[in-house]
Amino acid sequence: MTHQALSGQEAGHAGSSTGVAIVHGGRRVRLKWHRLRRRRRDPLFDAETLAEGLRLGASMEVDLRVTRDGDFAVLHDGTLDRETDGTGAVAECTGEEIRALHYRSAGAPRPVLLASDLAQALGPGHPEALLQLDMKDDVSAVGQTGVERLATFFAGCEGKLVVSGDSTELTLAISERLPGIERGLEPSFRLLDLYRAGRKSDLAGQLVQELKGPTRPHIVYLSWELVLPAKADGIDLIGICHDHGALVDAWTFNPANPEAGFSDEEWEKFSALLELGADQITTDEAIATERAYRARVQAGGVNR
């Protein structure tokens, strides 16, 4: 994953908003579609949104939960009740049982996606399209069977993937079987615990320790609500990641009123993240965020 300049195609369509990226100070900053949504009103984990993101070259994220038979459902929760029309634990169902369920959302019924559906969709598409697989189970739950199934599903398309999750062992097991996959690190909750406990002086050391750990991440996911106060205290978490060769995704930034654009306070915070060098912003409102940024640029003459 590398910094990218504005492509000719993007420059030629500067008036449109796709929610894929913005350009600030000559840097292309990607807008990652949180749980496959470009708008908060979009359904979660929608196959049509995935197809559109692959066509446009978007950065996207899905959550994966292991099933009883080592398959993977595209779900955030460990239970089915909130996100689907099923009940009970995901881990107690087979992949085929999950496939018979539907996501809870307005409109036509949408079958719950499985990892194999993602892999099938990844074949064609824009070369810059990127899909983050956020693993919600640990290595003991997934087991060797699950790792092997993932490797079978995604063999040949791992260049479009990032694997992340709380289990370092699982991230490493998957990347060993899919050596072309990029690795993500999420240290925010551990860092937030230190910060809230008043141990601000330990933040930098903890982050460096994790950056030097076995994951050796390509990208680090940092809560923007930690990044900004830490910087106010003189701790540049984004700079530390860059010094260790990792990109940074700042999550999850959403304008409170997408149709109105950024408030002055939101603009101050968003532009601060850009100035600090965030490489990617996770958002549920990618189109609105891009439009809001462009409106502020046009109104204030910000250097793009």
The dihedral through the CA atoms of 201, 206, 207, 211 has a sign that is: positive
d(CA 104, CA 240): 41
pLDDT in tens, 126-164: 999 999 999 999 999 999 999 999 999 999 999 999 999
d(CA 292, CA 280): 16
pLDDT in tens, 247-302: 999 999 999 999 999 999 999 999 999 999 999 999 999 999 999 999 999 998 56
**What percent of the chain stands above pLDDT 90?**
90
Closest-CA residue to 209 (of 224, 220, 198): 220
pLDDT at res. 7: 39
pLDDT at res. 77: 98
pLDDT in tens, 216-240: 999 999 999 999 999 999 999 999 9
* Position 8 pLDDT exceeds 60: no
Average pLDDT, the chain: 93
Give how far the C-alpha of residue 36 lies from the chain's centroid of Cα atoms, to the nearest Å.
9
| Confidence category of residue 107, pLDDT binned at 50, 70, 90 | confident
Enclosing H/E stretch for 149 = helix 139-154
pLDDT in tens, 31-63: 999 999 999 999 999 999 999 999 999 999 999
